[in-house]
Structure 1
Amino acid sequence: MEGLGEILAVLAAGVGAGAVNAAVGSGTLISFPVLLATGLPPVTATVSNALGLVPGSISAAIGYRRELAGQRGRVLKWSAGAVLGGLTGAMLLLVLPAAAFETIVPVLVGLALVLVALQPLIGRQLRDRRARTGRTAVRADGGPPLLVGLTLASVYGGYFSAAQGIIYVSLMGLRLDDGLQRLNAVKNVLVALVNTVAALFFLFAADFDWTAVALLAVGSAAGGQIGAAAGRRLRPAVLRTLIVVVGTVAIVQLSTR
């Protein structure tokens, strides 16, 4: 990495990515293009990005700790799937061609956005259906389908991670009767776990740029706190709208790469 301009650009990208990841998700779509613009090869940029955004993910999870209250049991259960999925995705990054995910990713993100946008309507329909059938109890952990879905989303997260958080929120919103901010808090924990596991694997198995990693780490740690503070103040409808807007931008970027 050469020049003060590139250093400041990567640092700023880290702040932006950390903030967006904490509040919504898809922060990789800010930091990854900047790393490519500095001349890093795609795989090296992906690995450096994963390593550098770990502090931001942890910072965001800490920033949302109040919303995590009472969710310990299900978070621990989903964490096992996140660790397994993140490690699998990281390994796939080193053996599969980039084109393997490029076609399916915009479709996944698009479906996730539809689910996020329609979550209130879907939630009401599910509650009405349970009331009609007399089955009012809802599993706090969403059952096996949610565990499988989150694990598969973690595989994608370990591979690339763009819009990973949006996919998490959409899956949880489909299966759980819970507030969007609480789901967002869980999302940050799962993203932190996936990024950390993938980063540890990359430390021993892939090439990365230490300067880029350090700059992103500093920036994303600060950005995570900024995004958490801002995101926690948003009303559910505003947060849902922001997720859809950011996700739509993500689809456009992913489709034109």
Structure 2
Amino acid sequence: MLIIVLGLFIAGIAAGVVSTLVGMASLISYPVLLAVGLPPVTANVTNTAALTFTGLGVGVSSRYELRTNYRDLYWILPLTVLGSLLGSFLLVIFPSQIFEKIVPFLVLMAAIVFLIRPYLHANRPLADIRENVPIDRNFIMISAVFLISIYGGYFGAASGVFTLLAFTMTAGLKYTVANAVKNISGAVANLVATIIYAFYGNVNWGYALPMGAGFVIGGWIGPKVARSLPAETFRWLIILGAFVLSGYLFYKAYL
């Protein structure tokens, strides 16, 4: 049992770092939970519960990136909570199988947009993209945050990629700042889902807590790594992550 707990802790650290960089923690943590013997549904809800702990590490480690944009969380987080609740409610009513066929294409499109982004902003270097400017609370931005939150509560996969796309393309934020806001809002969305799962799901807390402890450390390390990366390198990490996630989702949906 000690070996399992240690393995979950180490997997949590690795997945936490990946989560805060490119938002694909579940590609590491979910298979590990399956490997230790949890059924797929239990592994899924346990993974979501563990992911919630990432927010603790991210909140401490991302203070630099959020020194101006933390006020944006005052309107982003309520929308995230409402959207996640609505998405979770819709999941109870409507099956998510249709999204399993569509999402791989959406993630692939997001990867392509990140790939061609420099050509969309040819006169503005990546390093000069807005860093310390509040996000405009216009209709498009509010709608994007709310709709992505609904999607995250309903289906979940790749919601971090779509959030990054919204904050970098629509709001024009620097990658590291957009990533910090994404990580905080994602942690809140996972918390909402975890509360629901705690009442209606089958969370294995004996596995969620050691993995969650690893997520705290990984969530603390990730922003420090992101901060040290050049903007172009960070962009390519996101592109690579999005293509890998798209391939994984294609495999699950069609093979």
TM-score by length of 2: 0.86
Equivalent residue for 2:76? 78
Tell me how far 1:256 sits from its aligned partner. 1.2
Q: Is the 8 A contact 1:119 1:173 kept in 2?
A: no
**Residues 43 and 91 of structure 1: CA distance in aligned 2, closer, same or farther (over 3 Å):** farther
CA-to-aligned-CA distance 1:105-151 (integer Å, 9 cap, x gap): 2122112222222333323479xxxxxxxxxxx99325211221222
Which one of 103, 106, 109 corresponds to residue 108 of structure 1?
106
Q: 1:20-59 alignment to 2 at 5 Å?
A: 20-59=18-57
1:254 corresponds, among 237, 249, 252, to: 249
Letter in 1 for 2:101: T
Note if 1:195 corresponds to 2:190.
yes
Q: CA RMSD in A?
A: 2.4
Is the alpha carbon distance of 1:163 and 1:26 closer, same or farther for their aligned partners in structure 2, counting shifts above 3 Å? farther
8 Å Cα contact 1:115/1:174 also seen in 2: no
Between stretches 99-108 and 183-192, larger displacement belongs to: 99-108
Count of aligned residue pairs for this structure pair: 245
Letter in 2 for 1:245: L
Once the two structures are TM-superposed, the CA of residue 96 in structure 1 deviates from its matched residue by 4.2
Residues 1:9 and 2:4 aligned together: no
Residue of structure 2 aligned with 1:219, choices 193, 214, 223 = 214
The 8 Å contact of residues 54 and 218 in structure 2, kept in 1 or not, is answered as yes
1:135: which partner in 2? none
- 1:203-242 alignment, distance < 5 Å: 203-242=198-237
Extract unaligned runs of 5+ from structure 1. 127-137
Displacement after TM superposition at 1:98 (Å) = 4.7
Corresponding position of 2:130 = none
The answer on whether the counterparts of 2:96 and 2:155 sit within 8 Å (CA) in structure 1 is no
Q: Tell whether 2:179 aligns with 1:181.
A: no
- Give the letter for the 1:90 counterpart: S
Q: Which amino acid in the other structure matches residue 245 of structure 2?
A: A
% identity of equivalent residues? 34
Code of the aligned partner of 1:108: L
What is the aligned partner in structure 2 of residue 18 from structure 1? 16
Which residue number corresponds to residue 145 of structure 1? 140
Pairwise CA distance, 1:57 = 2.7
Secondary structure at 1:40 match in 2: coil
Contact 1:142 1:176 in 2 (8 A): no
Evaluate the alpha carbon distance shift between residue 33 and residue 100 of structure 1 in structure 2; reply closer, same or farther with a 3 A threshold.
farther
Give 1:203 shift.
1.4
Give how far 1:80 is off: 1.9
For 1:35 and 1:247, the matched residues in 2 are separated by 22
CA contact (8 A) 1:123 1:174 kept: no
Q: Distance in 1 between matches of 2:78 and 2:108?
A: 26
Q: Who is 1:134 aligned against?
A: none
Q: Distance in 2 between matches of 1:213 and 1:159?
A: 21
> Counterparts of 2:22 and 2:173 in 1: how far apart (Å)?
17
Distance 2:39 2:154 in 1: 16
Where does the alignment leave 5 or more consecutive residues of structure 2 unmatched? 125-132
Residue type of the alignment partner of 2:222:
G
Query: Residues of 2 paired with 1:220 and 1:229: CA distance?
Result: 15
Structure 1 residue 235, shift from structure 2 partner = 0.9
Q: Structure 1: which amino acid aligns with 2:5? A: I
